Structure 1
Amino acid sequence: MTPYTTNLGSSQEIPGVMLQAQMISQLLSAVLDGRPLLWTRSVWEETIWVGGWSLVGSLLAWYLRRLGYFYLAIAVAIACLYGICLVILIQAGGWLPLVPSALALVGSGGSIAFYKASLTRQVTDS
């Protein structure tokens, strides 16, 4: 039995023969079906990826004056992010962080938009 940890942190065991069968299945699919093996980037590369999408959200919020245009641009950016991640997964077998990138995009853009709105209110109230 080979121990492994689940996403919830609990320790479980998997029979060694099942683990070997899974690895052989992956290798055979790669060879016979031409399917690429899954790969990921290093932690710092994924951090740059997520940070880049955060920067995109911030720039969209900073430069777009109308809120409707901002919402549309964020929706288009999320669709582009999804498309990029999907194409890389299907074509090259790469696994890029989609959800953290989308959250960074929306969170940073929303923060900057909220900041700009509060500045506008302060100027009009004065």
Structure 2
Amino acid sequence: MGGILAWRICNPLQLGIAVVTALGFLSGLSLILFVWGGWTPLVLAALILVITGGSVTAYTASLAKNKGFTE
């Protein structure tokens, strides 16, 4: 999810808002499942969301710098 957000959203401010929104949705979903007696690994899922988003952003920036990539 984080990778898809980072690949499709080029504006850093919009990307930040999208990631915060996704983290809020993930937290809310985890809370609802917890109240209903379920459990989801919230911290791991949040870390994966942020790490994949950052990795794709760094990769895209590297392409733009090295090969003149424009989107």
Q: TM-score, normalised by structure 1?
A: 0.52
Deviation at 1:119, TM superposition (A): 1.0
Aligned to 1:109: 53
Structure 1 vs Structure 2: percent identity of aligned residues?
Answer: 38
Aligned to 1:53: none
Q: RCO greater where, 1 or 2, for CA within 8 Å and sep 6 or more? A: 2
For residue 27 of structure 2, the aligned residue among 82, 95, 99 is: 82
Question: Does 2:6 align with 1:68?
Answer: no
Runs of 5+ in structure 1 lacking a partner? 1-55
Over the aligned positions, Cα root-mean-square deviation in angstroms equals 1.1
Deviation at 1:121, TM superposition (A): 1.3
Runs of 5+ in structure 2 lacking a partner? none
User: Partners of 1:99 and 1:116 in 2: how far apart?
Assistant: 26
User: Partners of 1:67 and 1:119 in 2: how far apart?
Assistant: 17
Q: TM-score, normalised by structure 2?
A: 0.90
Max Rg structure: 1
